Structure 1
């Protein structure tokens, strides 16, 4: 029986030693995993900061584009009003020119009649 106890003790000692080595290996691997997680955490923090800066920059650009677009719309609206005024003025001038042209034709006709009468008198 003592022999069996010795064998059992040796077996348990060997098993304890192997388990201790296994736990040491697991602890070493966990330490490496923790180091990698720390690096990943730092990378994530850095990326979050970069994304915040990029988001801010994009928002500022969007805001500037919106302001430019609004200013452009106002200018287009003003120019459209000015063009409409010019078109109205041109139309009025066209009517005046047509009126003057018709008067000129009538006056030319009258002058021609007067010239004919003058020729007849001479």
Structure 2
């Protein structure tokens, strides 16, 4: 059964679909341009480049993020222990460092301040457009 769609709503849906396709094309073009801009800025240690019209700039933002994984959060150990033999459970378990506890104890002064230096991180990059006011 097809609902009776008012013309105004159908027009809005049609326009939305058109704009959606245009936005996807623009995203693809911007992604291709980013593949040119970002490596150049990283390799040359440039934090911002202005456009020729001086209306704004593209800014490279770098953020160090802790390497994290959800690899160890998929299964409940207690439930698996009921199903698997002890030697198999031991083969599935690994020891990991609780990042939140290390950082909390460091903030409380219970761990040396330089313990944070041992955190593994990887940089993530983002481009931001800033317009002149």
TM over 0.5: same fold?
no
Structure with the bigger percentage of strand: 2
After TM superposition, the score normalised by the length of structure 2 is 0.28
Structure number with bigger Rg: 1
Structure with the bigger percentage of helix: 1
Query: Which is bigger in relative contact order (C-alpha 8 A, separation at least 6)?
Result: 2
After TM superposition, the score normalised by the length of structure 1 is 0.30
